[in-house]
Amino acid sequence: MTGSLDLYVRVCHGDPLAMAGLVSLIGEEPGFQVQAENEPGEGMADVVVADHACALNLLASASAVDQPGVAGGFRMPRVIVLTRRDKEGEVMRAIASGAHGYVRQDADPAELMDAIRHVARGGSLYLCKGTKALIRHGKPCVGFTAREEDVLRYLVKGDCNKGIARELDISANTVKAHVARICEKLHVGSRAQVAAKATQRGLVRV
C-alpha cells in the first residue's frame, strides 16, 4: 500500500452539511484526494461516494451506456452509497443497481475509509456492519413482479381492491389474486399486516 498513488474520491451528497463534512473528513485521510461533486472533474475519480438518490441516478445513467465499466470512453468509477436509509428494500435496490459499497452514515467514518480502499482495489461488494446484519437476517429481497409492486403501492395507501382495480385498469378479481400472492410472499394473513411489513422493510417506494 505504501508508495502507491493517491486515490481520487469524488463526493456527491444532497445535504450541504454532510457534503462539507465528507469533504473535510476524506480530505484529512492520508492518501486520499477529495473532489466535491460540482467542481469540474476530469472523469478521473477512482471512487464516488454518494447519497442514496445521487448514487442511483449515477448508476442508472452509467448502465444506460450499456457497457459495464466503460462510459463514453471513461472508466466508470466505483460507487459507494453513504446514506441514512437502512431498510432492507433500500439496500437491496442499491445493490441491484450495481453499487459497490453500502455504508450507513451513522457508522464510524473509519468504515467509510476502509470501504473506499477496498472498492478502489477492485474488491467485491462492501457492506458496513449494520447493513451486513440486515441482509443476513431477512431473506434478501422478496421477489415481487412489477404488477405486484403496482398493487402493493396502492394497497399501502389504503385503497380497497375495487379502487386498485380502477387505478390499474384491471378487474377486482385479478387484484384479489395479486393481493393473495403478496400475502403469501410476505407470510402474513391480512392486508393491514402487508402494509405494516412492506413499510417497515422499505419494500415500497412511497
Positions that interact with another protein (CB under 8 A): 13-25, 82, 84, 86-88, 105-106, 108-109, 134, 137, 155-160, 188-197, 199-200
Q: How far is CA 90 from the centre of its chain?
A: 5
- Of 66 and 106, the one with the shorter C-beta distance to another protein is 106
Q: What's the closest the beta carbon of residue 37 comes to another protein, in angstroms?
A: 14
Backbone angles phi, psi at 49, to 5 degrees: -105, 120
| SS3 of the chain: helix, strand, coil, percent, to 5 | 50, 15, 35
Joined grid coordinates for residue 8: 481520487
CB neighbour list of residue 100: distance below 8 Å, 6 or more residues apart = 78, 79, 80, 119, 125, 126
Instruction: Establish how many alpha carbons lie within 13 A of residue 192's alpha carbon, considering only the half-sphere containing its beta carbon.
Output: 0
Q: What's the closest the beta carbon of residue 65 comes to another protein, in angstroms?
A: 30
- Of 7 and 26, the one with the shorter C-beta distance to another protein is 26
Joined grid coordinates for residue 48: 464516488
- Of 76 and 112, the one with the shorter C-beta distance to another protein is 112
- Of 35 and 105, the one with the shorter C-beta distance to another protein is 105
- Of 18 and 71, the one with the shorter C-beta distance to another protein is 18
Q: What's the closest the beta carbon of residue 148 comes to another protein, in angstroms?
A: 16
Q: What's the closest the beta carbon of residue 33 comes to another protein, in angstroms?
A: 17
Q: What's the closest the beta carbon of residue 90 comes to another protein, in angstroms?
A: 11
Phi-psi region of 184 (alpha: psi -120 to 50; beta: other; left: phi over 0): alpha
Q: Which amino acid is at 33?
A: Q
